[in-house]
Amino acid sequence: MRKSTALYMAGILCFATPLLPSLLHAQESSQHHSFSLVTVREGLVQPWGFVFLPDGSILVTEKRGNLLRISAASTSRIEGVPAVATGGQGGLLDIALDPDFATNRTLYLSHSVSGSSGSGTAVSRAILQGDSLIGVQRIWEMDRKTGAGQHFGSRLRFLPDGTLLVSTGDRGDMNRAQDPFDSAGKVHRINRDGSIPPDNPFVKNKAAAASVYSLGHRNIQGLAVQPGTGKIFATEHGPQGGDELNRVRAGANYGWPVVTHGRQYGSGARIGEGTTKEGMEDSLIQWTPSIAPSGLDFYTGNAFPKWRGNLFSGNLAGTRIVRLALDGDRVIEAETLLEGRVGRIRDVREGPDGYVYFITDAQRAGLYRLEP
């Protein structure tokens, strides 16, 4: 097993060539590039995820259940969004475009839904037609729902083979993450219609639910697939300390709550059996104190050539972006950007213009970008 490495980082962040007009520029600098911090749009209410459409506009989810289209001229609301069970950390969460979106106009949303015993995470797909969603269909949902208000996950990412990854949190009940047949605290892999890929790791031996790709996760809110390799990387929240960056592998167990660098809230008491155990994956790095990582993306653009291939992670408690340079599965460089500049950072994405875009998490939030 790999030994995890604690990293403590400080630094600053940046933006590039605009798809959309900007409101404000602030000059910043980093280890490799100078850049401008640009305000693209203000007035968002707890945005959670966003994607770029082929026409250059941006779809943004708001946790309260709104899906917005931001264009150069306006911000409009998309009608027909599936009903969400808002409350606590639940609501309308992530968004992903179908790999064939240009022809089928299909998108996917993760969100919380109600059941007889509470709420849980679900995934719906729909067709975007103008400013409306049509043909909305729920393709996957957590089997066991509870009244807890925390740890829904949930990020969506497509793999190169066209299958969809869905992350779920442990719903505040840590032992659910180690139950292989419980859908909480997992990364799931499904087909675009919600069916199960026959090569999922537990399909043949039935040692876990068929949709499970990996287990032992507390609350993954950052998920990224490395271009060129298809490797999966995830950031997840620890309790009091012990936030993690993991390389997610098929069938692997990431230890929560058996192994963790985190402690019990308030008391600081140890959790589980220690920080490492045979048969469970060690994190690539861990953050103590917690930074609350949320949103994760690889940078591949030309606007910032020295950042190419780096991972960018938004931070909530850390109110910053963390840039990570990798050598294989090793983190060889880490830098903090924009610490304390704009507040809690919920999601980070590379734009088609090669700039780095991100959204903040607040009742009065915004969409920003970094430009050279």
Give the catalytic positions in this structure: 151
For the sheet with 106-115, list strands across it: 92-97, 106-115, 118-129, 132-141
Q: Find the DSSP H helices in 238-310.
A: none
Buried b (16+ CB within 10 A) or exposed e, 301-337: bebbeebeebbbbbbbebbbbbbbbbeeeeeeebbbb
With beta carbons less than 8 A apart as the criterion, state whether 210 and 202 touch.
Answer: yes
Q: Find the DSSP H helices in 29-170.
A: 101-104
**Closest by CA position to 154, among listed 126, 179, 122:** 122
Task: Output the six-digit token pair for 265.
Answer: 């809230």
- In the block, tokens 């008491």 appear at 269
Exposed/middle/buried for 100, CB within 10 Å: 0-12, 13-18, 19+?
exposed
With beta carbons less than 8 A apart as the criterion, state whether 151 and 170 touch.
Answer: yes
